[in-house]
Structure 1
Amino acid sequence: MIECSPSVIVNDDEPGYDLDVYCIPNRYAEDLEKVFILHGLIMDRTERLARDVMKEMGGHHIVALCVLKGGYKFFADLLDYIKALKRNSDRSIPMTVDFSRLKSYCNDQSTGDIKVIGGDDLSTLTGKNVLIVEDIIDAGRTVQTLLSLVKQHNPQMLKVASLPVKRTPQSAACRPDFVGFEIPDRFVVGYALDYNDYFKDLNRVCVISETGKGKYQA
């Protein structure tokens, strides 16, 4: 993962967007600080990432490996754009999907203990172009664990896509090949990113408030 595509940089002093001007469920009114990334921006950026993925990986059978649970929205939208590109292409490249589930968080802190709690037989990835689709990368331990597992099965090509990547010292050492947004080190939710399984239903990426952290603490 040396040559990486450019990303959209969200600065540390980014003010975000006022919650009052968007449709935020009433139950979350006190639980969020601000809207951080708008849904339209997410979709536009995902469409461009799909083009980058096809340019880099579209010459051979692609297996898209979704990291559950937080990655499913980004995964689904990214694949929809990739499929659209395939339909308008002269090339007929097979693409299949697979799923893996890893857990590393308790509340808003990474435990450092990566648990693989789901997923199919990774031997099916041998000889394929494998695209790991992550929800978010901060410390990078989850993706490093999954990369080491996939590499044992000798894929032809192995790349990683993540919608947001937090600007942390740890993430700098494991930057994905395809990055949607580089964001400050804030705990964000929405667009399937969760806090103890809450906030997945938001279609925008938002910053959780201290009130929200306390209310939904495990």
Structure 2
Amino acid sequence: MAGKREEARDNGRGVVISDDWPGYHLDLFTYPQHYYGDLNRVLIPHGVIVDRTEKLAKDIMNDIGYCDIIVLCVLKGGYKFCADLVENLKNISRNSDTFVSMKVDFIRLKSYQNDQALGDMQIVGGDDFSELAGKNVLIVEDVVGTGRTMKSLLGKIKKYKPNMIKVASLLVKRTPRSDGFQPDYTGFEIPDLFVVGYALDYNEYFRDLNHICVISEQGKEKYRV
């Protein structure tokens, strides 16, 4: 990405976007016009997300090897990242001599209302992880903020003794509230901003936005519940 950016090679933090990164002006990209005035800027364009996801898939395959995987997609914000990541993993498998079986399951977590984190993680839907026993599990998440939500989920899954658990997150926020949790695979490390788009939502809005953008105060008020 253009502009100031820290070197991210081999540090496990992904593409590191600095606090003073101005992003891109909205007029440089297409986006749904019903969100006019609801966004401040484009933080990560869709094309950059696509390229970074392809590289993450290669890193995952190189790391865990060609073994059968259960992908646990964290809904709802993780569905686009998960779909793109799994497609890249399948492409690597198809072009290799070893077939990798991938089963995708889903878990829905609720940890935000408006732009505020809830006190406790809420599991909405299937929380029976017994089928993960002895399996190789890849959890795919959209955003890691404080890390408490993911640590809580990992604690529940580990009780069923999977063979391996890895976590891939599209975004990790730099926040003083972090408990230090770091995913195994990170797409982008970003400032402590509330971002939307690429299936990340604000009260169920902005999922239809392809780019990852910073929501404006007008947008927060418009869609507040």
User: TM-score, length-normalised on structure 2?
Assistant: 0.92
The amino acid that maps onto 1:14 is W
Q: Work out which of the residue numbers 154, 159, 167 in structure 2 matches 1:160.
A: 167
Q: Equivalent residue for 1:72?
A: 79
Unaligned runs of 5+ in 1: none
Unaligned runs of 5+ in 2: 1-9
- Provide runs of 4+ in structure 1 moved above 4 Å: none
The amino acid that maps onto 2:52 is R
Q: CA deviation digits over 1:140-199, x for unaligned, max 9?
A: 122111101110111111010001110013436111000000000000000000000000
Q: Equivalent residue for 1:106?
A: 113
Task: Map 1:117-156 onto structure 2 (within 5 A).
Answer: 117-119=124-126, 121-156=128-163
Task: Map 1:79-98 onto structure 2 (within 5 A).
Answer: 79-98=86-105
Q: Work out which of the residue numbers 187, 207, 224 in structure 2 matches 1:217.
A: 224
Aligned residues: 216
CA distance in 2, matches of 1:63, 1:170: 31
Q: Does 1:207 align with 2:219?
A: no
Q: Per-residue deviation at 1:4?
A: 6.8
Contact 1:4 1:178 in 2 (8 A): no
CA distance in 1, matches of 2:12, 2:78: 19
SS in 2 for 1:136: strand
Contact 1:102 1:114 in 2 (8 A): yes
Q: Per-residue deviation at 1:119?
A: 2.1
Contact 2:148 2:179 in 1 (8 A): no
Which deviates more from structure 2 when the two are superposed, residues 198-207 or residues 112-121?
112-121
User: Once the two structures are aligned, what percentage of the paired residues are identical?
Assistant: 58
User: TM-score, length-normalised on structure 1?
Assistant: 0.95
The amino acid that maps onto 1:97 is V
**RMSD of aligned residue pairs (Cα, Å):** 1.4
